[in-house]
């Protein structure tokens, strides 16, 4: 279907002037302007008391954790103990149906906040896993119409984190991992810049979950097939201390030795990155997924993203796992990014416009989705119409970026992915959330029994 969105208070298209109307034709933005006249066959959407922003791009998530929120044992733990108490305790007991429901829940939360693309760092792999568990994530994204970048995690050694060994998880070997990655690439990966499905090579932890030779083999495979690379790095000081103890170098230098730096690489967190680390990351074009809510929740610290951004490093935002943030809202991440760094570095540290860029166009570029991320003629129609009719916005003068400035709760009047309407009047199109919640309650009871 083709659409004409009219009468918005503002459309965030800085290169196009004072825009109130936007036309979608064959899935692409075909016209921006004012007083546009509906064409025959177009569906008209009245965006009065609304603003139109680019769809938000989440560059780091753990969808499986959507059903692991607020686990009592992990509420006041730091990363290391929390990993053992929460994700590693439960994920070996996931069924494909539970994974589908968890992904559906997490993606629905993301859509409700204005997200249109999700990079899910899916690490529920072990020696005996079947392909159905991963298939469930792809299927949930297809059913909801959201873009999915599946970052294929996993480990080839139990490593130095406590969780895998404590949970009795037997990791894959490198040959099995590469064979399974190749099968996923053949089945799902779309190489073009307007892909709805992309695969990324993403061992769970660069320092803790794979040998150096395995990391080099994974990097070589990724670059042979033009896949991007992703992992966790420097979330807590333990990464640096282990790199120094095991490899005699910094964590970032270890990444370089394993061929894991470059413009096709981005890391989640990088909270503990030093000035020297940032220089090396900038020089190689390596990017970051900044996850401020999760880093606050686990007490990990604040990533130095303002310094990274100023130095020219690609900065994007991620919600991380809902088990370490209890949310999957990209608006929350953008809002917290705007506030957090100003609290530490002063009022000129971040701007609303920059935080919106981090959560939209920067994320799209980082993921290789070069035709999305901004509102411009010829770009894919990934966009969000935020409703500002609620009384909480009545006193807001700077209207265009009010959703980012005011934070949650937001209401999405409608949103589009690749020109398809995926949210209508705040509800995910075609999804019975009450039914999902009911089935999830039953599945979670079974999960608790299996996990003990």
pLDDT band at 164 (very low <50, low <70, confident <90, very high): low
Nearest alpha carbon to residue 74 among 269, 299, 268: 299
> At residue 444, does pLDDT exceed 90?
yes
CB 12 within 8 A of CB 375: yes
CB 275 within 8 A of CB 283: no
Residue ranges, CATH 2.30.40.10, the chain? 3-54+379-426
The pLDDT of residue 311 is 98
pLDDT (mean) for 148-158: 94
Nearest alpha carbon to residue 384 among 352, 358, 421, 351: 421
CB 385 within 8 A of CB 10: no
Write the pLDDT tens digit of every residue in 115-138.
999 999 999 998 889 999 999 999
What is the CATH code for 56-366? 3.20.20.140
Write the pLDDT tens digit of every residue in 284-294.
999 999 999 99
Query: How many CB atoms sit inside 10 A of residue 356's CB?
Result: 24
pTM: 0.97
The pLDDT of residue 165 is 67
3-state class of 83 per DSSP?
A: helix
> At residue 167, does pLDDT exceed 80?
no
Phi-psi group of 35: left, alpha or beta (phi > 0 → left; psi -120 to 50 → alpha; rest → beta): left
Residue ranges, CATH 3.20.20.140, the chain? 56-366
Query: How many CB atoms sit inside 10 A of residue 86's CB?
Result: 24
Write the pLDDT tens digit of every residue in 343-363.
999 999 999 999 999 999 999
> At residue 163, does pLDDT exceed 70?
no
Nearest alpha carbon to residue 5 among 30, 18, 25, 23: 23
The H-assigned helical ranges of 329-372 are 330-345, 352-358, 361-366
What length is written for the chain? 452
What is the CATH code for 3-54+379-426? 2.30.40.10
CA distance 112 to 163: 32
Which tokens is 130 given? 């079947």
> At residue 314, does pLDDT exceed 70?
yes
Q: Is 330 exposed, middle or buried (0-12, 13-18, 19+ CB in 10 A)?
A: buried
Q: If you average pLDDT over every residue of the chain, what do you get?
A: 95
- Of 41-50, 165-174, 391-400, the range with the lowest mean pLDDT is 165-174
- Of 78-92, 174-188, 420-434, the range with the lowest mean pLDDT is 78-92
> At residue 84, does pLDDT exceed 90?
no
> At residue 159, does pLDDT exceed 80?
no
Write the pLDDT tens digit of every residue in 194-249.
999 999 999 999 998 899 999 999 999 999 999 999 999 999 999 999 999 999 99
Nearest alpha carbon to residue 209 among 248, 257, 265, 169: 169
- Ramachandran angles phi, psi of 318, nearest 5°: -140, 150
CB 280 within 8 A of CB 253: yes
pLDDT band at 295 (very low <50, low <70, confident <90, very high): very high
pLDDT band at 168 (very low <50, low <70, confident <90, very high): confident
The pLDDT of residue 271 is 98
Phi-psi group of 53: left, alpha or beta (phi > 0 → left; psi -120 to 50 → alpha; rest → beta): beta
CB 55 within 8 A of CB 112: no
Write the pLDDT tens digit of every residue in 266-284.
999 999 999 999 999 999 9
Query: How many CB atoms sit inside 10 A of residue 246's CB?
Result: 13
The pLDDT of residue 297 is 95
**Do β-strands 43-46 and 50-54 pair in parallel, antiparallel, or remain unpaired?**
unpaired
pLDDT band at 106 (very low <50, low <70, confident <90, very high): very high
The pLDDT of residue 266 is 98
The pLDDT of residue 17 is 86
pLDDT band at 78 (very low <50, low <70, confident <90, very high): very high
Give the whole-number percent of the chain exceeding pLDDT 70: 98
């Amino acid at each position: 279907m083709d659409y004409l969105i009219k009468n918005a208070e503002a459309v965030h298209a800085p290169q196009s002037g004072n825009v109130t109307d936007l036309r979608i034709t064959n899935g692409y933005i075909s016209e921006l302007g004012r007083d546009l006249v509906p064409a025959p066959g177009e569906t008209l959407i009245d965006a009065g008391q609304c603003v139109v922003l680019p769809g938000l791009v989440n560059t780091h998530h753990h969808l499986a954790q959507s059903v692991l929120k607020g686990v009592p044992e992990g509420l006041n733990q730091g990363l290391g103990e929390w990993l053992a108490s929460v994700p590693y305790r439960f994920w070996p007991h996931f069924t494909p149906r539970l994974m589908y429901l968890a992904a559906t829940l997490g993606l629905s939360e993301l859509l409700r906040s204005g997200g249109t693309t999700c990079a899910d760092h899916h690490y529920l792999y072990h020696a005996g896993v079947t392909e159905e568990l991963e298939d469930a994530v792809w299927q949930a994204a297809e059913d909801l119409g959201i873009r999915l970048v599946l970052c294929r995690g996993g480990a080839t050694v139990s490593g130095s984190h406590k969780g895998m060994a404590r949970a009795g998880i037997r990791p894959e070997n490198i040959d099995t991992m590469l064979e399974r990655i190749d099968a996923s690439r053949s089945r799902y990966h779309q190489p073009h810049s307007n892909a709805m499905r992309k695969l990324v090579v993403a061992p769970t932890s660069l320092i803790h979950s794979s040998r150096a030779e395995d990391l080099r083999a994974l990097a070589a495979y990724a670059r042979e097939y033009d896949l991007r690379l992703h992992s966790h790095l420097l979330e807590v000081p333990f990464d640096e201390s282990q790199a120094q103890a095991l490899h005699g170098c910094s964590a970032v230098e270890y990444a370089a030795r394993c061929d894991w730096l470059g413009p096709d690489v981005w890391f989640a967190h990088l909270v503990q990155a030093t000035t020297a680390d940032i220089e090396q990351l900038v020089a190689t074009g390596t990017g970051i997924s900044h996850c401020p809510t999760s880093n606050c929740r686990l007490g990990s610290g604040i990533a130095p993203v303002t310094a990274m951004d100023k130095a020219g490093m690609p900065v994007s935002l991620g919600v991380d796992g809902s088990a370490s943030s209890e949310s999957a809202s990209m608006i929350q991440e953008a809002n917290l990014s705007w506030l957090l760094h100003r609290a530490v570095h002063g009022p000129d540290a971040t701007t609303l416009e920059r935080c919106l860029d981090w959560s939209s166009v920067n994320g799209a570029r980082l993921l290789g989705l070069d035709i999305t991320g901004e509102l411009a003629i010829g770009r894919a129609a990934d966009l969000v119409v935020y409703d500002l009719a609620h009384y909480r916005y009545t006193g807001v003068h700077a209207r265009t970026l009010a959703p980012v400035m005011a934070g949650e709760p937001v209401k999405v009047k409608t949103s589009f992915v690749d020109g398809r309407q995926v949210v209508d009047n705040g509800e995910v199109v075609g999804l019975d959330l009450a039914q999902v919640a009911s089935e999830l309650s039953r599945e979670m009871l079974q999960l608790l029994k299996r996990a003990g």
